[in-house]
Amino acid sequence: MADKVLMKGNEAIAEAAIMAGCRHYFGYPITPQTEIAAYMAKRMPKIGGVFLQAESEIAAINMVYGVSSTGKRVMTSSSSPGVSRKSEGISYMAGADLPALIVNVQRGGPGLGGIQPSQSDYFQATRGSGHGDYHLIVLAPSSVQEMADLTIKGFDLGDKYRMPVMLLADGTMGQMMEPVSFDNVETKEYDKSWAVTGTKCERKHNIINSLYLKPEELEKENFARFERYKVIEANEAMYQEYKMDDAEICVVAFGIAARVAQNAIDAAREEGIKVGMIRPITLWPFPKAPMLAATDKVHTFISVEMSMGQMIEDIKLATECRRPVELCNRVGGMIPTPDEVLDSIRAAAQKGGNK
Amino acid sequence: MEFKRLTLLAGHYGSGKTNIAVNLAFELKKQADRVAIGDLDIVNPYFRTKDSADMLEKAGISLICSPYANSNVDIPALPQEMYALTDDKTLHAIVDIGGDDRGALALGRYAPAIVEENNYDMWLVVNRFRPLTSNATDTLEVMNEILTACKIPFTGIVNNSNLGADTTEETVLSSVLYGQEVAKACGLPLIMTTVEERLYPALKDKIPNLFPLGLQSRIFDK
């Protein structure tokens, strides 16, 4: 492969997964993520891997459960309605402490919704999606290069903490083409002595399970899991700041919305408005610390998101409601235009702060 | 540039067919009175000639595509007007064929008439920087899959090698040999190399048969 290649976001995810050592992919086609499956179907047979189009999303996620139990790197991908169907299996994986990469290339909802891009699965991704107390690590790329980098990072994080990881993209990110480099791929190996690989009568057998009928035991499992979550919250939050040094207004946006917002911020700066952006790269753990710190200097936060206002709740929690948080949004497959975001920034500047 | 009555563009998905089709239609309009674009892409709803509908209409180029493209009805149907491509011999057209063999399958129903009339070009659009067509061998594989699906023999290669916004003069120059190798492996002529308009002046004397492409900008690009 040349130093740089031109890829769709969906293809970059698939190739990066292969580079991260993933040799098992189970999926079911759905727009706008089908190129992931198509790419895997072409590549996996050539490298001794497994591509399997399951009979449904539910079957696919349970195949992922099975392969993950054996300690192998494994992934599945879908788009919003398909991820809803996977949620039961994701909960079981969280309960059995199984790593895997689950990709959601979001489309408009609810229900069958549309096929155009959306970010309205934020709650579904960050609140666990299935039943029970659990989290997924949620990674939100904002370029095709990041689609690749965060896919690899996702496999590492999953193995490190023994939990499912979600890559949360959207239809535009999946379909858009950008140059991407795989030059600096580094991936780590983690201890998987917990995996079910056959005891050869040499060790006690391992059990992969999420059923604990004794409440004391189940409570203990939950407590232990949330101790691990605390470590993740302390160490793994990722974000990027843009022109925040002297900012009085802070835009918060992720994924494709962050790219539109960045253009709006540049335009606002030309008008003399001091505005910057904090772009969460992990949605769970949410980068709370930089946002709380920003409350000392900014008078208003603006959440730019392609949902009816989901991330805005996390911003309010992170900033402890010290500053007003405005919402700039489009939904249903619509992407906010730079002008729409600029209008929100202008309005916030005009209103000013109360600090 | 000389055009046959029909110019068919096929290739791996993401090779740039749709954008080239739109640009070629404008070029064709300079030479022919009645010009149409036929969009046979029934697979990918995200990149369609229909996005350029207003621009084409202003230029007097008619667009024949699925009436359901970019609409609520998500079915892979083609309109009866598509038969004008083969039946109306006074019409010149650029035909955008969907990605890979699946996209080319839809072309099959028009193939007997196209081959019989024999006033067509069928060009394979290739990009060296697309990972699944990065060398002549892999590209030939894609070409044969398309050929098997649509049964219309290819007549030439279009080298559209680019790295999107990162494309430099060097990117394009370094792809010329690849274009020639693909053409040789297929036993077909290299019809042209395409390049983004901004790089055209610097490269037009260095690369034979260079064709400049206008691109549509997107709101999330810098």
The average pLDDT across B193-219 equals 92
In this prediction, what percent of chain A has a pLDDT beyond 90? 95
Question: Is A342's Cβ below 8 Å from some Cβ in B?
Answer: no
The average pLDDT across A63-80 equals 98
Give dist(CA A232, CA A286) in Å, integer. 10
Give A299-347 pLDDT, tens digit per residue.
999 999 999 999 999 999 999 999 999 999 999 999 999 999 999 999 9
Give dist(CA A54, CA A318) in Å, integer. 40
Question: Is B166's Cβ below 8 Å from some Cβ in A?
Answer: yes
The reported pTM is 0.92
The average pLDDT across B110-136 equals 95
Taken in order of first residue, the domains within chain B and their CATH numbers are: 6-213 (3.40.50.300)
Q: Per CATH, the architecture of A240-351 is what?
A: 3-Layer(aba) Sandwich (3.40)
Whole-number average pLDDT of chain A: 96
Give A272-301 pLDDT, tens digit per residue.
999 999 999 999 999 999 999 999 999 999
- CATH of region A4-192+208-235: 3.40.50.970
Give A4-57 pLDDT, tens digit per residue.
999 999 999 999 999 999 999 999 999 899 999 999 999 999 999 999 999 999
Where b means 16+ CB within 10 Å and e means fewer, B59-70 reads: eebbbbbbebbe
In this prediction, what percent of chain B has a pLDDT beyond 90? 70
CB contact under 8 A, A260 and B46: no
**Environment class of A179 (CB within 10 Å of its CB; exposed 0-12, middle 13-18, buried 19+):** buried
Dihedral pair phi/psi, residue B197, rounded to 5°: -50, -40
The answer to whether A277 and A265 are in contact (CB under 8 A) is yes
Task: Kindly state the tokens that stand for A111.
Answer: 């229900």
Is residue A206 scored above 80 in pLDDT? yes
Helix residue spans in A127-276 (DSSP H): 144-161, 171-175, 215-235, 255-270
The answer to whether A242 and A265 are in contact (CB under 8 A) is yes
- At A355, the pLDDT band (50, 70, 90 cuts) reads very low
What ipTM describes this predicted complex?
0.87
The average pLDDT across A50-73 equals 98
Find tokens 């196209």 and name the residue.
B114
Q: Which of A93-97, A117-121, B15-19, B21-25 has the lowest mean pLDDT?
A: B15-19
- Judging contacts by C-beta atoms under 8 Å, the chain B residues touching residue A5 are 129-131, 134, 163
CB contact under 8 A, B129 and A179: yes
Question: Is A171's Cβ below 8 Å from some Cβ in B?
Answer: yes
Question: Within 10 A of A35 (CB to CB), how many other CB atoms are there?
Answer: 27
In this prediction, what percent of chain B has a pLDDT beyond 70? 94
Task: Kindly state the tokens that stand for A42.
Answer: 């072409």
- Judging contacts by C-beta atoms under 8 Å, the chain B residues touching residue A170 are none
More confident residue, B162 or A185: B162
Rounded to a whole number of angstroms, the distance from the CA of B222 to the nearest CA of chain A is 7
The average pLDDT across A182-189 equals 87
More confident residue, B18 or A126: A126
Same fold, A4-192+208-235 and A240-351: yes
Whole-number average pLDDT of chain B: 90
DSSP character string of chain B: ----SEEEEEESTTSSHHHHHHHHHHHHHTT-SSEEEEE---S-SSS-GGGGHHHHHHTT-EEE--TTTTSS-------GGGGHHHH-TT-EEEEEPPSHHHHHHGGGGGHHHHHHHT-EEEEEEE-TTSGGGSSHHHHHHHHHHHHHHH-----EEEE----GGG--HHHHHTTHHHHHHHHHHHT--EEEEEEEGGGHHHHTTTSTTEEEE-----TT--
Rounded to a whole number of angstroms, the distance from the CA of B117 to the nearest CA of chain A is 35
- Judging contacts by C-beta atoms under 8 Å, the chain B residues touching residue A105 are none
Rounded to a whole number of angstroms, the distance from the CA of B60 to the nearest CA of chain A is 29
Is residue A197 scored above 50 in pLDDT? yes
- At B44, the pLDDT band (50, 70, 90 cuts) reads low
Is residue A188 scored above 70 in pLDDT? yes
Predicted local confidence at residue B76, as pLDDT: 73
Domain ranges of chain A: 4-192+208-235, 240-351
Q: Which of A169-173, B54-58, B120-124 has the lowest mean pLDDT?
A: B54-58
CB contact under 8 A, B74 and A8: no
Q: Find, among A275, A251, A259, the residue nearest to A328 by Cα.
A: A251
Length of chain A: 355
